[in-house]
Structure 1
Amino acid sequence: MARMAKVIDLPSIAKIDKSQGKISTQLTLALREAVQCGDLKAGDSLPSSRELAQTLKVARGTVIQAYDQLLAEGVFEAQARSGTFVSHRLSKTIQLDKKAKTPSSDSSISLPQSAHAYAKLLKEFQPLPHVPFAVSVPIGRTQPNDIWRKFGNKFRSRGVGAPTGYDEPQGILSLRVAIADYVRRSRSVHCEPEQIVITSGIQQALYICSQILFEHNDQVWVEDPAYRGTTAILENAPQQIEIFRVPVDDEGLNVDHASKVAQHARAAFVTPSHQYPLGMPMSLARRSALTAWAKQHRAWIIEDDYDSELRYHGQPFPALHAMAPDQVIYLGTFSKVLFPSLRLGYAILPQALIAPFCGLRVLIDRHPPSADQHVLAAFIQEGYLERHIRRIRKVYAENRLELIKIIEQNLPRSLAWLQPGDQGMHMVLWLHPQLNDLQIATAALDVGVSVKAISTTFSKQQQHVGLIMGLGDFDPKHMLKAIKRLAQIIEQAALKHNLNVHDEHHLTLHGAV
């Protein structure tokens, strides 16, 4: 085991003023204070008296006198041939003292409402454990193969991906070229590399859009239900954006309804290829109506191309971007098909938005991590991304069928049923309307089952209850065990509401889809 470095640099020691004299007393007080405030912890090794004397440029006897005093007080302890340490016996005492001094949540410093809102949001976005049925968990056959690791070793250790200075806010050119070629083949999106900005995932792109596109009290359309990351950004925007939640049906966002309630909205946020969270694609008629509205009113369409690659029957649906490239801001990410911790996505922008988008991006995080961009560029250019997508599409298709079978065998349709769908990394399990999906999700987490409540994606007017269930490459035995635990929680909740568990009545979504 490697030895810990001995502590010499301490802020407390820097307070010693030699001009005041009594240096040994000052040093004793400083070291005692360092222990009390946690700069020095129980078990930390102290430098030898000679080393510390040389650092402070004082006589060695001065340091020995301070050490002897603290040894006598029990603050330090000496070990033969090992040196001087902060006493291990102080560990519990200091912890209790810290608890006593910890300020209560009722701080005298008042925070603005925005701070409280962000603190509340933090709880909503806590990641779930990587167990059934967490979404986008790269385990088993859904992990990138050894090629990713080899590219990583190659580019991070030397050459273009080696540690260097600041990079382009827009992202490295090789990755933008690779993405332009990839979206042309896979998504029918035609663009130039100069239109692409590499982001830290969809969330950052959505945030930048919310800041550069809107002025005070501008109106926007948002699907109902919708990705919580979108609605949370807009709800907390400083411009006080007016959000109009637009119901979706089996054709996607209802453009006629949106036009009636907010015809002059500045933008529409949509997931046309795979509606989140319900899963249906937007019909051609609705796409045509949406792009016609955007062109007529000079409005923006923010297209989140969520889970577009993972369709299990037939070809993926084309992106909306091709129908109105001057109005559509196309957002994509590699978090889902590769792994979330990669934190690399992209925005394809109309020419007028490139400079303002990059300008705000500079203020947020300057530029994305360079090494991983080079790895991803090579991974795409050499065809490995598309092979990886074909592989995981097969895995998710298999797990989807397995999950459907297990749910049908273990959950009564009077309490829960699956939303039809043939693409994406998750399924929606609708619950009886009298059940509380937030409580059920919390109870499930307590027994090691990861599911998300769907009610948070709806507006209050359209509220429905259900669970979002990921299709990761989980072991079928673990999936079965998780569903049985979930079934028990749902049935117990049903009994509390006096619902008939064995009633053969089939649930409906009351017109939501």
Structure 2
Amino acid sequence: MSKRRATIEIPSLHGIDRTAHVGRRLAQALRNAIARGELRPGERLPSTRSLAASLKIARGTVVEAFDQLTAEGYLEARVGAGTRVAGALTDMAPALPPPPVPVAAETIDLPAPAARLISIARALTPHPPIPFAIAVPSSGVAPDDNWRRLGNRMRASRQAAPSGYHDPMGVLELRIAIADHVRRSRAVHCEPEQVIVTSGTQQGLYMAGRVLLSHDDPVWAEDPAYPGLTAVLDDLGVRTHRIPVDAQGMNVERGLELCPGARAAFVTPSHQYPVGMPLSMARRNTLIAWADQNQAWIVEDDYDSELRYAGHPFPSMQGLRPSRVIYLGTFSKVLFPSLRLGYVIAPAPLAEAFAGARAILDRHSPISEQHVLAAYMREGHFEAHIRRIRGLYAERRAVLLAALEGVLPEGCHVQPTDQGMHILLWLPEEADDVRLAASALSAGLAVRAISPMYGTLPARPGLMLGFGGFPAAQLQAAVGELAKLLQVRGA
């Protein structure tokens, strides 16, 4: 049996004048709705009884209007099938003039916050998963079979079944697993009560700003810096001092010269984003001493510390001064970005404030995914997964570096780094990395320009090349295409 087309609602009919000549007004309103496209050929109208009850008019009035429009060819009635808009109305003149053309979006006078948020949305829109896209995990590795198995098991259990609202800090089992993981892997000192589960690092950055800062407070941010951070600081209305980055990471001494009274410093000390070097131990100590002396805060974004391919990483800054550091972590890089799970580890006196900020934003992350991740970590699959992808990504990184060697034009060189899912390719000073990135995207390559990530001039041109999600042969072919673009553009 064929499925009947659903009966549609006709909101515009509820505005008709019911004081006099209601039947004629209803008939005209139906003609207008058909002319405007609100009612389309073949669509089924409500029954005369239900429409009369909805409009609070006599059923006979509706029957009269339907009969009139049927006679005019607008409607067709079939026994047992109800009344529908006639199937062939293409030659029928509209009962009303054509509706006005909608005002083009670009002619609307946008409020300042909307215009700013549009630019942020464009800056943070991810590239498609084509060669060199950033933070694309390897297919077939994340999520793995253990994740799928646990997902099926946990979602079938009453514990992870859909229910009401939950603790904005997150599922306790996951917070216990996170606290244990960062203690062993990053020398972080915390209790589960200090862990707040977030929807990734981006939300953690915003929460940190809401908890720590007031409008017009001075803050430090690296230069260049992660666009998601600078967008948050702009949105919060703070006074951001961009502190230059050199071979030892953020130049803390320069920060002390520019603004010693800053309320917070936002840093990526393990693997500076986007350039790639770690913050030296001497500068870590200077930064902590500054925070102690000024009762300021350090927001440590430790976004990809698990993905280190050589040597031993510095321990977290949080482990050096738990009372002054807010530590941010994410599962996006080591599992998959669409999971949208990360965490904040706050000093104990601030934990409840972060929970409040989390509750304001969206209450909490999906509970079932938190239970799955907690079980994945508790049963040892997470650490095994990290070891597996660390080896795989190390191989792909080596392939990319080897492919780039010998094909780069003069003035181009790779920034040394032993961590993460991308490398940075510096371009000659006169190169236009933004235009080059646009040309690359047209050629099927998703490189990311870094000059827009600078807050001060001159902005150094360079390209970020992601490698995690792409096999060796694909990376090698992509390098060949990139080399051609660099030659053509004179980079």
Instruction: Give the structure-1-normalised TM-score.
Output: 0.86
Show the counterpart of 1:491: 487
Greater Cα offset, 46-55 or 334-343: 46-55
Distance 1:69 1:135 in 2: 63
Residue 327 of structure 1, CA deviation? 0.1
Instruction: Give the corresponding residue for 2:292.
Output: 295
- Look up the match of 1:446: 442
For each residue in 1:286-312, what CA deviation from the matched residue of structure 2 results, as whole angstroms up to 9, or x when unmatched? Answer: 111111111111110000002100001
Equivalence map 1:66-81=2 (5 Å): 66-67=65-66, 69-70=68-69
Letter aligned with residue 146 of structure 2: I
* Structure 1 residue 101 corresponds to structure 2 residue 102: yes
- The match for 1:476 among 441, 463, 472 is 472
Contact 1:224 1:458 in 2 (8 A): yes
Q: Which one is further off, 458-467 or 176-185?
A: 458-467
Deviates most, 343-352 or 59-68: 59-68
Mapped contact 2:222–2:243 kept (Cα < 8 A): yes
Q: Secondary structure at the match of 1:286?
A: helix
Give the match for residue 505 of structure 1: none
Secondary structure of 1:128's match? coil
TM-aligned CA deviation for residue 89 of structure 1 = 6.3
**Aligned counterparts of 1:99 and 1:395: Cα–Cα separation in 2:** 58
- 1:75–1:181 CA distance, 2 compared to 1 (3 A): farther
Greater mean deviation of Cα atoms: 485-494 or 164-173: 485-494
Residue 97 to residue 183, structure 1, CA distance change in 2 (3 Å): farther
Is the 1:144–1:388 Cα contact (8 Å) retained in structure 2? no
State the 1:193 CA deviation: 0.8
What is the aligned partner in structure 1 of residue 336 from structure 2?
339
> Which residue of 1 is the match for residue 413 of structure 2?
417
8 Å Cα contact 2:201/2:303 also seen in 1:
no
Contact 2:169 2:195 in 1 (8 A): yes
Distance 2:236 2:45 in 1: 50
1:72 CA drift (Å): 6.2
Quote how far apart the aligned CAs of 1:47 are: 4.9
- Contact (CA 8 Å) 2:265, 2:299: kept in 1 or not? yes
**What is the number of residues matched between the two proteins?**
487
Deviates more, 1:383-392 or 1:414-423: 414-423
Residue pair 1:141, 1:473 contacting (<8 A) in 2 also:
no
1:407 matched to 2:404: yes
* SS at 1:352 equivalent: helix
Task: Provide the aligned C-alpha RMSD in A.
Answer: 3.1
1:314–1:122 distance in 2 versus 1, CA, 3 Å = same
Pair 299,36 (structure 1): closer, same or farther in 2 beyond 3 Å: farther
Aligned residue number for residue 10 of structure 2: 10
Counterpart contact for 2:396–2:471, Cα < 8 Å: no
1:263-307 Cα shifts (integer Å, max 9, x gaps): 121111111111111111112111111111111111100000021
**8 Å contact 1:224–1:462 — kept in the other structure?**
no
Aligned to 2:115: 116
Shift in CA distance, 445/172, structure 1 to aligned 2, threshold 3 Å: same
Relative to structure 1, the CA distance from residue 186 to residue 100 in structure 2 (aligned partners, 3 Å threshold; closer, same or farther) is: same
1:461 aligns with 2:457: yes
The 5 Å alignment of 1:47-446 reads 47=46, 63=62, 65-67=64-66, 69-70=68-69, 84-85=84-85, 87=87, 100-107=101-108, 110-238=109-237, 241-409=238-406, 411-446=407-442
Letter in 1 for 2:481: R
Distance (whole Å) between structure 1 residues aligned to residue 86 and residue 163 of structure 2: 40
For 1:200 and 1:58, the matched residues in 2 are separated by 51
- The answer to whether the 8 A contact 1:141-1:392 is kept is no
Tell me the equivalent position of 1:508.
none
Cα distance between partner residues in 1 of 2:440 and 2:80: 54
Q: Say which SS state the counterpart of residue 413 (structure 2) adopts.
A: strand
Gaps of at least 5 residues in structure 1 are: 500-513
Cα deviations by residue, 1:348-394 (Å, 9 ceiling, x for unpaired): 00122222222222222122221211111111111111111111111
Would the aligned equivalents of 1:46 and 1:86 in 2 still touch at CA under 8 Å?
no
Asked if 1 retains the 8 angstrom alpha-carbon contact of 2:250 and 2:279, the reply is yes
CA contact (8 A) 2:5 2:43 kept: no
For residue 437 of structure 1, report the CA deviation from its aligned partner: 0.9
- For residues 85 and 427 of structure 1, the distance between their equivalents in structure 2, rounded to whole angstroms, comes to 60
**For residues 90 and 368 of structure 2, what CA distance do their matches in structure 1 show?**
44
For the 8 Å contact 1:332–1:347, the answer to whether it is kept is: yes
Deviations 1:46-100 (A, max 9, x none): 4566775677687776555544555566655679987635757669x99x96782
Percent identical among aligned pairs is 47
- Matched AA of 1:246: I
- Return the alpha-carbon distance in structure 1 between the equivalents of residues 203 and 398 of structure 2: 34
Q: Would the aligned equivalents of 2:8 and 2:43 in 1 still touch at CA under 8 Å?
A: no
Say whether the 8 Å CA contact 2:399–2:476 is kept in structure 1: no
Distance 2:132 2:182 in 1: 29
CA distance in 2, matches of 1:89, 1:446: 43
C-alpha distance in 2 between matches for 1:428 and 1:86: 62
